[in-house]
A and B are shown apart, each in its own frame.
Chain A
Amino acid sequence: MHSKVPPTPSGMYPRGGLLRRRETAFAWALILPSFVFIGVIIFYPMGLSLRLSLFQVDLTRRGAGTPFVGLANYIDILKSGYFWSSVGRTAYFTVVSIAIEMVLGLFIALLLNEKFRGRSILRSLLLLPWALPITVDAIMWKWIFNANYGAFNALLQQLGLIEKYQPWLTRPWSAMHCVIAADVWKVTPLVALLLLAGLQTIPRELYEAAEVDGAGWFRSLWKITIPLLGPTMTVVLVLRTLDAFRVFDIVYVMTQGGPANATKVISFLTYQEAFKFLHFSRGAALSYLITLIVAVLALLYTRAMKRQIEY
């Protein structure tokens, strides 16, 4: 706060005086409501669920009471194969969807950074998928991949790639990629937009200089665009990883974790424990494990980002 005080030309704010103290108090008064608000809606539930995760709270067994069990819930989960296989699935979803989103997003951003007629219209159209609620997106893709009358099947058949309609959502391997496709379609526009913003900060002179030196399009992409886009890309990467790791809605609408658990990501597992089985304490422990994983990822990324900026 101290550095924020403007320089005083004629001793209007005597050092350590009444006015300054009043100003600090005023600042606190301004912050306090939002602090209380955040406390009530974030810190209080967080504390409560941490407490919940250390007890055994199972609503279908009221007779058993709610004894303190320490870390037993966590140990139970960490020992179960179901937890690790869903972590694996979540990681696969995260890596593949982000990789595709990054590459596609970069190409779209490069395209929209060029000057051509109708560019501004295209730029606003680009945001359409992003503006759609996730549930709507998921329902739409569920219909597109429908085994009996889906548009995807019709397209492939008209192109002569498949002989008859395929049930894409009923095969474990393809179902996961259908879910990824729905996510990619929705999120690529956001990635493209963020990268486009990054592209516009790169000075044109650099490209002109490269052109004079005889560098081709691909070489300037590799030597100028991508290195200078690094910080933006890292930000996108962090945002997207944190988001993708908690994916739930698309899975809930499209597959309910099926077929044969192929799309049962970690958030879906948590939801099942808590709301299907009423094992609130295990659900809470699972949520904390997700938080932990995401926190570690965020830490690693911020480290990497710092290094990059120094470079």
Chain B
Amino acid sequence: MRRLISMLCLVGVVLFGACALGKVEISGLFMKQAGYQESDIRAMTEEFLKMRPDIDVKLSFVAYEELHDKIVVAAASGAGTYDVILLDCIWPAEFAEAGWLLDVTERLSEEDRADIFPEVLSAVTYRGRLYGMPWLNDWEYFFYNKKMLEAVGAKPPTYWTEVIDIARKLKAQNIVEYPIIDAWGQGEAVVIQWLQYVYAMGGTLFDEAGNPTMNEGKPLEALEFMVQHMDEGLFNPACIESFYEEVRRVFSAGQAAFGLNWTYMYNLANDPAESQIAGDAVIAVIPGFPDGRRSATCNGGMGLSILTSSQHPDEAWDYIQYLASKEVQKKYSQNALPIWKSLYDDPELIAQQPELIKVAKEQIHYIFDRPQVPWYSQLSLILSEELQAALTKAKTPKQAMDDAVSRTKEVMERYAQ
């Protein structure tokens, strides 16, 4: 009995101690991949905590591929595991339909909203309501190895046709075995990269009535383009198992002349500690097709959202506001550019990132959004499976895309019931 009393005393002391400190603890879920690096986010959070001693922030980092599922499990259980989550632009429809995201439309001022790129605002918007604060302003770029291009006397390419010509030369002269690396791993990556070719060719996935039509025209041609040039040995066969980190490693190891990736590869590929080609990695606008568009890049904007299960939405919002503030975004512009339009004319920012800002200002004109439907996760999975079936030769491109269309129709029917 005496032991029990002393145990209770101990518990009491601990509880009292926690109350006396009076800290509100919020927890955030972030990703460990493109965009702001883990060390950036930890540093930003440290700075915030210094300003707000009444708050404590617990951080978790997972790979992008796990982010969706972690959020789903936490949100569906309603246990309030996370207060703040990183939201990809393809999830607002799905998560908002499930009722997991706090509507923050009223929290963002008109003035602020006017200064944010519409492309990143759309990343956190569903049916006109705002479900988070835009944060990561990101889209893909084209990268090339300056030295390799000089070796064959080639000019930087504007169109994919030129890329293919240069790649053939590079291969013929044994400068690089597989000139192009791209992220075609089974998952979201292969879908994004294929869409990039589809849109650059001037195509779309659905007709005006909303019926899926990827088994004909440009979407099919885009897939044939990928298969054909992989067979030719211009695209690295390892594309099929590559995600963006693999693309970065192959490109940084000097095993590719061309690569597609998000902003973060630029600084890392030119960092001698991370790359064997530091100084030779050039960032450029993604090539287009002469009979299609000049360029196309996927909107990879991400936002910070508050889960409805959060006990401390106000503190969470303060934290989010700090992370997305102009000062913080300017300071950490190395791996992701700011969401604020006004900063792009800021001489300090331009001085920090002269090349990147120049290319970014041009590339932003060619941004496309992925289909914003609540069943996007399923559409993406169907596409990734069928694209991979064609890339691995299990099916012909036509067969694969026919199957993609019929499976998409099934999902749409089930959803319309």
Which of B69, B253, B392 counts the most chain A CB atoms within 10 A?
B392
Instruction: Give chain A residues whose Cβ lies under 8 Å from the Cβ of B253.
Output: 148-149
Instruction: Give chain A residues whose Cβ lies under 8 Å from the Cβ of B177.
Output: 164
Q: How does the 8 Å CB contact mask read for B168-179 relative to A, with 1 for contact and 0 for none?
A: 000000000100
| 8 Å CB contact of A64 from B236, B378, B417 | B417
Min CB distance A241 to B, Å, is 27
Min CB distance A135 to B, Å, is 12
Interface size on B, residues (CB 8 A): 38
The stretch that binds A, out of B1-9, B112-120, B286-294, B381-389, is B381-389
Min CB distance A269 to B, Å, is 11
Instruction: Give chain B residues whose Cβ lies under 8 Å from the Cβ of A232.
Output: none
Whether A260 contacts B73 by the Cβ 8 Å rule is no
Residue of A nearest to B386 (CB): A260
| 8 Å CB contact of A59 from B69, B98, B187 | B98
In whole angstroms, what is the CA distance A170 to B187 when docked? 13
| 8 Å CB contact of A259 from B72, B76, B241, B375 | B241
Size category, A interface: 20 to 34
**Which residues of B (14-42) have their CB < 8 Å from a CB of A?**
none
Whether A62 contacts B97 by the Cβ 8 Å rule is yes
Whether A260 contacts B377 by the Cβ 8 Å rule is no
Q: How does the 8 Å CB contact mask read for A58-70 relative to B, with 1 for contact and 0 for none?
A: 0111101000000
Whether A148 contacts B236 by the Cβ 8 Å rule is yes
Whether B69 contacts A276 by the Cβ 8 Å rule is yes
Min CB distance B230 to A, Å, is 10
Residue of B nearest to A258 (CB): B186
Q: How does the 8 Å CB contact mask read for B359-398 relative to A, with 1 for contact and 0 for none?
A: 0000000000000001101100100110011011010000
Interface flag for A119 (CB, 8 Å): no
Whether A260 contacts B187 by the Cβ 8 Å rule is no
| 8 Å CB contact of A255 from B69, B97, B186, B384 | B186
Assess A147 versus B241: contact at CB under 8 Å? Given A260-B186, A276-B69, A276-B381: yes
Whether A60 contacts B392 by the Cβ 8 Å rule is no
Interface flag for A275 (CB, 8 Å): yes
Whether B94 contacts A167 by the Cβ 8 Å rule is no
Assess A147 versus B186: contact at CB under 8 Å? Given A60-B97, A170-B392: no
Assess A259 versus B255: contact at CB under 8 Å? Given A60-B94, A62-B97, A275-B72: no
| 8 Å CB contact of A60 from B98, B186, B236, B394 | B98
Whether A276 contacts B68 by the Cβ 8 Å rule is yes
Q: How does the 8 Å CB contact mask read for B225-253 relative to A, with 1 for contact and 0 for none?
A: 00000000000111111000000011001
Min CB distance A129 to B, Å, is 23
Instruction: Give chain B residues whose Cβ lies under 8 Å from the Cβ of A61.
Output: 97, 374, 415
In whole angstroms, what is the CA distance A18 to B388 when docked? 73
Residue of B nearest to A175 (CB): B241
Whether B381 contacts A272 by the Cβ 8 Å rule is yes
Min CB distance A287 to B, Å, is 15
Instruction: Give chain A residues whose Cβ lies under 8 Å from the Cβ of B385.
Output: 260-261
Interface flag for B99 (CB, 8 Å): yes
Min CB distance B66 to A, Å, is 9
Whether A256 contacts B185 by the Cβ 8 Å rule is yes
Instruction: Give chain B residues whose Cβ lies under 8 Å from the Cβ of A170.
Output: 237-241, 392
Instruction: Give chain B residues whose Cβ lies under 8 Å from the Cβ of A255.
Output: 186, 241
Assess A147 versus B237: contact at CB under 8 Å? Given A59-B98, A60-B94, A260-B389: yes
| 8 Å CB contact of A147 from B73, B97, B238, B378 | B238
Assess A147 versus B388: contact at CB under 8 Å? Given A257-B186, A276-B381: no
In whole angstroms, what is the CA distance A196 to B216 when docked? 61
> 10 closest Cβ contacts across the A-B interface?
A258-B186, A147-B238, A170-B240, A260-B388, A260-B389, A167-B237, A275-B69, A260-B392, A169-B241, A59-B98
Given contacts A62-B97, A169-B241, A261-B388, 13 further A-B pairs with CB under 8 A are A60-B415, A61-B415, A148-B238, A167-B236, A169-B240, A170-B238, A172-B394, A259-B388, A260-B391, A275-B68, A276-B381, A278-B72, A278-B377
Chain B residues packing against A (C-beta within 8 Å)? 65, 68-69, 72-73, 76, 94, 97-99, 177, 185-187, 236-241, 249-250, 253, 255, 374-375, 377-378, 381, 384-385, 388-389, 391-392, 394, 415, 417
